[in-house]
Amino acid sequence: MSDIQGRHLIVSAIENGTVIDHIPSNRLFEVISILKLDSIASQITFGSNLESKTLGKKAIIKISDKFFSGDEINKIAIVVPEAKLNIIRNYTVVEKQHVSLPAEITGITRCFNPVCITNHQAITQKFNVVASNPTTLQCVYCEKITDKDNFNLL
């Protein structure tokens, strides 16, 4: 496994659950925030600044007994389109998932435009995805672009 360094596992294995791998280290806390991992009851272990051939330094999150829905996986794609999910059952990877951005995103981030109607009234934020990696969103309402540097996650 990619998270084995030397002969021992840096981040301990889980019996059942989800491993989110290939997170750039500097985006770890965004992933924790977007998935609201601070408010779930499952056991969670993190590792950051781990050696990675492709990313230099990467982070990894292991969440016991948690399996994400399609919508939740799409959220990960907004901040880390390169992330990979491993579904673990009985200590074995049973499925690998690549995250992918949907064409439309609802209610995940705020529109960057301070004079957009969605920032003034109780309206669900909606965006069309105009580019991925880096993610670039266009507000359905005010038509302004919100890019990766300006995400203000809800």
Residue in 118, 135, 146, 151 binding another protein, rule: CB under 8 A? 118
Nearest Cα neighbor of 20 from 38, 46, 43 is 46
DSSP 72-103: HHHHHHHH-TT-EEEEEETTEEEEEEE----S
Q: What are the backbone dihedrals phi and psi of residue 31, each rounded to the nearest 5 degrees, phi first?
A: -65, -40
Minimum distance between the CB of residue 121 and another protein, rounded to whole angstroms?
5
Which one of the spans 16-24, 37-45, 58-66, 108-116 is the region binding another protein (CB under 8 A)?
A: 108-116
Nearest Cα neighbor of 85 from 23, 34, 37, 38 is 23
Q: Which residue number, 38 or 149, has a Cβ lying nearer to another protein?
A: 149
Residue in 143, 147, 153, 154 binding another protein, rule: CB under 8 A? 143
Instruction: Rule CB under 8 A: say whether 113 interacts with another protein.
Output: yes
User: Which parts of this chain interact with another protein (CB under 8 A)?
Assistant: 111, 113, 115-118, 120-123, 139-145
